[in-house]
C-alpha cells in the first residue's frame, strides 16, 4: 500500500479535494479503495462535507442503472 511520507505539509488528498471544489465539482469519483478512504478523510479534514461527496465508481454505475438518484449531492438545488 502506498502512503504519503512524513507529517508535514498538505496531504495529496486534501489538495485534490480542494482543486475539485474550486472547479465546481460536487462529486469526486474513484475506483481505488485506498483513494476512496484518503479522499473521504480529506473531505472531513478540510471541512468540505457540505461542498463535495466522494463515491466509488461502482456506486455511480449502480445509481445510473437503477435510475435512482437518492444520493445526496452537497448544495444541489
Give one DSSP letter per residue of 12-37, joined into a string: HHHHHHHHHHHTT-SEEEES-HHHHH
List pLDDT tens digits, range 32-49: 999 999 999 999 999 999
Residue 38 lies in a domain: yes
**The pLDDT value given to residue 9:** 77
6 occurs within a structural domain: no
Residue 57 pLDDT class (50, 70, 90 cuts): very high
According to DSSP, the residues that pair with 56 across neighbouring strands are 30
Q: What is the pTM of this model?
A: 0.76
Residues 6+ apart with CB under 8 A from 56: 29, 30, 31, 33, 36
Check residue 1 and give its pLDDT.
Answer: 39
Tally Cβ neighbours within 10 Å of residue 24. Answer: 8
Q: What is the mean pLDDT of the chain?
A: 85
- pLDDT one-digit tens code per residue, 8-18: 778 899 999 99
Query: Range of 46's domain?
Result: 12-66
> How many structural domains comprise the chain?
1
Dist. CA 30–CA 13, nearest whole Å: 12
Amino acid at each position: 500500500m502506498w502512503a504519503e511520507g512524513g507529517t508535514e505539509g498538505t496531504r495529496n488528498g486534501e489538495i485534490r479535494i480542494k482543486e475539485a471544489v474550486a472547479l465546481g465539482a460536487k462529486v469526486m469519483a474513484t475506483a481505488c479503495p485506498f483513494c476512496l478512504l484518503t479522499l473521504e478523510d480529506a473531505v472531513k479534514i478540510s471541512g468540505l462535507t457540505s461542498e463535495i461527496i466522494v463515491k466509488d465508481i461502482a456506486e455511480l454505475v449502480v445509481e445510473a442503472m437503477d435510475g435512482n438518484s437518492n444520493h445526496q449531492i452537497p448544495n444541489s438545488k
